[in-house]
Amino acid sequence: MTARHQRLRSKCARTPRRRRAGGSVTVELLLNLPIWLVLVLAVVQFGQRSAAVQQVALASRVGAEEAAQTASLTSDDAVPGNVLAAIERELASCGLGCSKVILEHNVGGEPVLLIAGGGPGAPPPTPLPVLGHYVRVTVCVPPTGSIVNLLGKLGLDFGPRAMAQSTTFRYELPGLETR
């Protein structure tokens, strides 16, 4: 047998194996595809949730900064309109809506709790610092349609969860004596 015949013979002998190997790769891909799909959907959903939590934390900081600069905070009627407007403006920029704002302060000496809106959410269990004047703003946001529950469509629903973030700022206005 010549060298040319041996090459052709070995090429023909390998062809059926390649076809069988190609079929097994397709079957392996079809078996692994659902697992990869669930992993990709979980990463996307986790990313959306993390971005929304960061936006709620930023709205809480903006609200606390606005409250720390509000001169008429000593009244204990309601959350000031400028604080609510700053929080709503920040949340609207990312498509979220606010359901509840909790403002705590000790500007007049005694701790005061002001609540705007309804829905789930409570102030943090830790008290405000006693040395000095402080404000704490807690922003509570209900689960919204902006975070798509991709895994819920596959039967892996982790349930919608409300988001709440708190920020504490020192209240320092000119003419206000500190303790």
| pLDDT at res. 106 | 85
Q: Measure the CA–CA gap between 119 and 108, rounded to whole angstroms.
A: 28
The C-alpha angle with vertex 165 and arms to 135 and 109, in degrees rounded to 5, equals 15
Q: With 60 as the cut, is the pLDDT of residue 63 above it?
A: yes
User: Of residues 170 and 21, which shows the higher confidence score?
Assistant: 170
Measure Cα distances from 72 to 62, 76, 135, 173 in Å.
18, 10, 13, 11
- The string of pLDDT tens digits covering residues 19-35 is 556 678 888 888 899 88
Output b/e per residue, 99-128; b: 16+ Cβ within 10 A.
bbbbbbbbbeeeebebbbeeeebebeeeeb
**This prediction's pTM:** 0.74
Q: Are 136 and 64 in contact, with CB atoms under 8 Å apart?
A: yes
For the chain, give every domain's residue range. 3-170
CA distance 13 to 58: 67
User: And the tokens for 13?
Assistant: 């002998």
Name which of 3-7, 62-66, 92-96 the model is least confident about. 3-7
* Residue in 146, 171, 144 with CA at minimum distance from that of residue 160: 144
Question: How many helices and strands (H and E) does the chain possess?
Answer: 2, 4
Q: Residue 34: which H helix or E strand, with range? A: helix 3-68
Torsion of the alpha carbons at 143, 144, 147 and 153, rounded to the nearest 10: 80
